[in-house]
Amino acid sequence: MIDTVHATAIELTNLTPNLQALVFMHADQIVQVLEITRPQIGIIPKIGKAIDSSLLSQTDELVRTTASGAKAIQSIVEDIQHTLIHSDAKRLRGYL
- Domain boundary assignment for the chain: 2-90
Contact between 55 and 34 under an 8 Å Cβ cutoff? The reply is: yes
CA distances (Å), origin 63, targets 12, 14, 60, 74: 24, 23, 5, 17
Q: Which residues of the chain have pLDDT under 70?
A: 28, 30, 46-60, 62-64, 67-68
**Confidence at residue 48, expressed as pLDDT on a 0 to 100 scale:** 66
**Confidence at residue 78, expressed as pLDDT on a 0 to 100 scale:** 83
**Confidence at residue 21, expressed as pLDDT on a 0 to 100 scale:** 74
Detail the DSSP E strand segments found in 30-75: none
Does the global pTM surpass 0.75? Answer: no
**Confidence at residue 40, expressed as pLDDT on a 0 to 100 scale:** 76
